[in-house]
Amino acid sequence: MTTKQIVLAARPNGTPILNDFRFEDIELDELQQGEVLLQGMYYSVDPYMRGRMNEGKSYVPPFELNKAIEGGVLATVLESKSDLFKTGDVVLGSLPWSEKMIASDKNLQKIESTVESLTYYLGILGMTGLTAYFGLMHIGKPKAGETVVVSGAAGAVGIVVGQIAKIHGARVIGIAGSDEKASLLKQEFGYDDVINYKTTGNIKNAIANLCPNGVDVYFDNVGGEISDAVIQNLNFHARIALCGQISLYNSTKIPLGPRIQPMLLTRSVLMQGFIISNFQKDFPEGIAQLSKWVNEGKLKFTETIIEGFDQLPAALLGLFKGENKGKMIVKA
């Protein structure tokens, strides 16, 4: 049986381009005992994949040149030689960007959806929802009446962070890249106010104006000059949950920003980076809490679903142009 896959054709120099990817037709092997034949349905595209396109050591190994890109995929079982899964089951796994694929049953999770959409398992009840939950609850620790600032606020992680902070009684200010995103965050997701960083001249002053009592928690998804501006407004004993630095992922040289250590020192600020897998043993608790809030209507979510397997590379590049609201997903 032949299928189409997408491989890493070249390591990007700076911002990735479509030519860094290549489509190939491949022949699938015979199904072995303990394996399933899968049909990909929904493919997650995530900023961390940009890091895997580079060579070098990180917390996940780089994608190999001329091998299929890999990421979170929701797939249907077409054929099974596994005792764990039967034809028609829906599974989630870290799988190749391939229309069909053979996978070992050891690395798959069966999905039995109790919420309105299966794709929630790539977003609010998946990696990005858990990132929002653990980063905010374990590092940010917002208290009622405090002010929380979230960068990358209209993305998959940011949309959830703001709502969890509101559930805990905080005032929440977002930073996002368009007026449309700002309105969505305020009207649908409970953000108290939002700064459009692309049209706001002085972000430091804009934050000072919107946060007259200073910033107690900063959930940082983007880094760079946006974070420099937020950090100038931190309160004594503020906490920074260092989640992502997307503004720097395509940099060939990391720009030198202001020296922030004196500010962190004199204001007794905690700044802690984290990788979601640090919290793996607590995932069942995180999923249970997120599901409860979703089912109670306290946590809402949105997705940008792009149609067509062939759109996967463009969708990944779109994350760096702000083309998504909420979780970016490709539907095959």
The residues that touch ligand NDP, with contacts defined as CB under 6 A, are: 46-48, 127-128, 131, 152, 154-158, 176-178, 181, 221-222, 226, 243-247, 274-276, 319-320, 322, 324, 328
- Least gap, CB of 327 to ligand NDP (angstroms): 6
Nearer to ligand NDP, 58 or 113 (CB): 58
H helix or E strand, kind and range, residue 287: helix 283-295
- Least gap, CB of 132 to ligand NDP (angstroms): 8
d(CA 153, CA 156): 8
Return the amino acid letter for 157.
Answer: V
67's CB contacts (< 8 A; 6+ apart) are 7, 8
Nearer to ligand NDP, 243 or 306 (CB): 243
Nearer to ligand NDP, 23 or 320 (CB): 320
- Least gap, CB of 158 to ligand NDP (angstroms): 6
- Least gap, CB of 102 to ligand NDP (angstroms): 28
- Least gap, CB of 239 to ligand NDP (angstroms): 15
**Quick one: tokens of 198?**
């692309």
Name the residue with the smallest CB distance to ligand NDP: 155
66's CB contacts (< 8 A; 6+ apart) are 7, 8, 9, 22
**Quick one: tokens of 236?**
């004594």
Nearer to ligand NDP, 101 or 165 (CB): 165
Nearer to ligand NDP, 125 or 154 (CB): 154
22: helix, coil or strand? strand
d(CA 326, CA 60): 24
DSSP state letter for 13: S
Nearer to ligand NDP, 222 or 234 (CB): 222
Nearest Cα neighbor of 84 from 31, 33, 148, 152 is 33
- Least gap, CB of 237 to ligand NDP (angstroms): 23
